[in-house]
Structure 1
Amino acid sequence: MAMRYLRFYKEKSMYYQMQEGYLTLGEGDWQDNSVTMLAANHVPAKGANLVVTRESLPVGLSLADYLLNQKSTLARELPGFRILFEGPETIDGLPAHFLEFTWDNQGHAMHQMILMIVNNSRALNLTAT
């Protein structure tokens, strides 16, 4: 598998792996802006899920600026948004931030946690509900 990866790398193609297999995308400026959702279908965790999102950030946008934008969006879009805990983290040497909050979803209390990791001009968000 490593040999294949090196071959794809030398060809300047994007090698994208997922649970079901992999894709080899032709030469070009491919960006992974995918969303992955994992849902628990077993007791006692039934209904819990983990959503992983990836996005490109404007050049020079810091984690602090990204965090302010994210919190502003959450406060604007989620009724009853209330932060329970937040704090800086470091994940594999990269700057990150943990945010735990609640909000009201049509009379149902929602409890979520987001781990935001920024690497250069890319953000990786892991959201647990």
Structure 2
Amino acid sequence: MGDTIVDKTEFTLTGHTVSAVPWHYIATLDLNAACLAGGGWVVVDLIAKGDDIGVGIENKAGNDFLTRQFVKPRRESERVSLRVAAFDQIGRFVVENGDLKNPASVELTALKVIPDDGSAQSSCPE
């Protein structure tokens, strides 16, 4: 497997993979939202480059996806909305290389957790 590099600035989280291994994780992020009541949405603005990517939310055990969508590479930003039935079941947010043997990268320009109940709380206390 290749190396995964995640660069984080104040406003952008960028993941690059130097591997062409299918389904290789490009970036992961702990959303710290398991204490939120009920379900809601994880909304991500991103730019996919190179190859198709998968964007999803793992279960707590990290062995399956609760939700996942696939995104084709584009030059402009795209919004992906991931439905979460119950925040207490979520694990990490994941971006992965697609099933083709070509390197992929992603630039995440925004990520927001939106509870169904309309509460302003979008993460758990540290």
TM-score by length of 1: 0.31
Question: Which of 1 and 2 has higher RCO (CA within 8 Å, sep 6+)?
Answer: 2
